[in-house]
Amino acid sequence: FGADQPALVQLLFRPVVPGFHPSERAYAPSLEVQRRVIEAFKIAADSGELHAAAATEQGIRLFIAIVAGVGNERAANQPNLTDEEDLHNLLDPALDMYAAYFSPTQPDDWTPWSTQPTT
């Protein structure tokens, strides 16, 4: 979608008009997508496909950052890729890394979110 409609992606996913806030009606589809993503991650964690930490707010935000980052890299640096050169060559391994990081084989009390300050 993003590769085929870069201008629409910009309008939908980037704040291109300073101070603009969508109406509740206009924002409702985004909230529904968010609800579905949260539910999908909860199901994946509950079924043992991902560690429970993946279904946390931070786990989902990391997932979104990975997908958006790959898409933004293409939009910024390779907007004219053909289907054969598409970013699946980056997105697939990035998602595999995410799934491996949040492997259900991690201990139940494992968390990637450190509560200790790093120096």
The two structure tokens encoding residue 5: 């409609």
**What's the confidence (pLDDT) of residue 46?**
97
The pair of structure tokens assigned to 113 is: 């979110």
Residue 2 is predicted with a pLDDT of 62
Q: For residue 80, what pLDDT is reported?
A: 67
Q: Chunk the chain into consecutive blocks of 10 residues (it has 119) and report each block's average pLDDT, rounded to whole numbers.
A: 69 75 89 95 97 96 91 69 64 93 93 65
Place of tokens 């989902």: 60
The whole-angstrom separation of Cα 9 and Cα 51 is 31
Quote the pLDDT of residue 96.
Answer: 95
